[in-house]
Amino acid sequence: MAPTVQESHDRKVKSLISLTKSKHKKTKGHVARYLKSIEAELEEKSARKVLLLKGIRCSNNMSEVLKDLQSMLQPNAKLLSKNNEIMPFEDEGSQSLEFLCTKNDCSLFCLASTSKKRPNNLILGRTFDRHVLDIWELGIQRYRSIKCYKNAPKKRPNSKPMLAFLGDVWNVDSQYSDLRSFFVDFFKGKPVDKLVLNGLDNIMSFTAVRTNEEQIVIYMRSYFVKLKKNPDAASSAPVPFLVNSGPDIDFTIRRTQPPSPDLWKLAIKQPKEIKAKKIKNRSTNMFGETIGRLHIQKQDIDKLQGKRVKALRVSGKMEAERTKKEIEDDLKREKDEMDYEFKMTYGFDQK
């Protein structure tokens, strides 16, 4: 698939950033400042690419696994056809993976191999700043390829999958919660701000089950989502139907290499350019609702002119007439008292 204009621009900018970091070539000051300002945004918007490798010995079944992963992760996956003498859990193997990932511009890797000691072995890992971050070694117990579902529809390129993690182990065990975080990084694709409903065309479920042998087996299943018209006329949302499309993989965890604390601290640190700025007088509660605080001047409620209904106008008029009548009666009574006192004092009426 040919790269788009935006992808070509991003590649060119990345190559310029790598040149600025090298010590052999100097870059002009304004160019270096511009590249530094857009580096964080470029890393946030770009998808993480996966490098698919074959180990020293790779059977046909494991080669099919790599091809199926490539079709699922397209166009963000690159498959190398040659076998590689790489042992990721050793220092030399880690250095080889770092070199290949840097050369192919990939931050994730997947190595498939087969041996007598570890048959059907799949090694997954992440890199950060050209160093191996963590490694997961999985043993495949059962595998069913995409070719087994010939009539099933296939996912579109660049579509984002919905990930479902079923089982209490994902929340209880820290090792499996880290594996869940890795799977989200591995399959999420390109970060987007908005989603179209028709673009959600596939879902992947990871079910962790504890067997009788006290071994936890993870069942990975892939489904194509068909959106059909809702029979309920009141609702306009379509009804999803799941069609098994493959691949189906049952695997267990064999070995792990967790990230070093210092490297992990750098990996999860967010650049200042993409960190959300705090807005004054605005907060979010536990339900995701935005709560704002307004600062206004003190208002005199007595002087506020509001709309008055007819009933209030009539009652106000009656109250005003009653008050006026009471005032007139008081004035008349005071006048009569003053006239009476004047007559008693002087013996005649006041004119």
Domain edges within the chain: 1-46, 47-267, 324-351
Rounded to whole angstroms, how far apart are CA atoms 185 and 76?
Answer: 12
Question: Is the bond leading into 191 cis (omega within 30 degrees of zero)?
Answer: no
Pick the CATH number of 47-267 from 3.40.50.10480, 1.10.1060.10, 3.40.50.300, 3.20.10.10: 3.40.50.10480
For the segment 256-263, the average pLDDT, to the nearest whole number, is 91
Contacting residues for 203 by C-beta, under 8 A, at least 6 apart: 161, 162, 163, 164, 222, 223, 225, 242
Tens digit of each residue's pLDDT (9 = 90 or more) over 295-345: 778 777 777 766 666 666 677 788 888 888 999 988 888 888 888 887 887
CA dihedral of 293, 299, 303, 304, whole degrees rounded to 10: -10
Residue 112 has pLDDT above 80, yes or no: yes
Confidence of residue 273 (pLDDT cuts 50, 70, 90): low
Confidence of residue 3 (pLDDT cuts 50, 70, 90): low
Contact 69, 77 (CB under 8 A): yes
pLDDT at 274: 63
Task: State the DSSP H helix or E strand holding residue 186, giving kind and residue range, or none if neither.
Answer: helix 174-187
Residue 123 has pLDDT above 80, yes or no: yes
Rounded to whole angstroms, how far apart are CA atoms 200 and 242?
Answer: 12
Tens digit of each residue's pLDDT (9 = 90 or more) over 38-67: 555 555 556 788 999 999 999 999 999 999
Contacting residues for 258 by C-beta, under 8 A, at least 6 apart: 134, 178
**Single-letter residue type at 157:** P
pLDDT at 4: 61
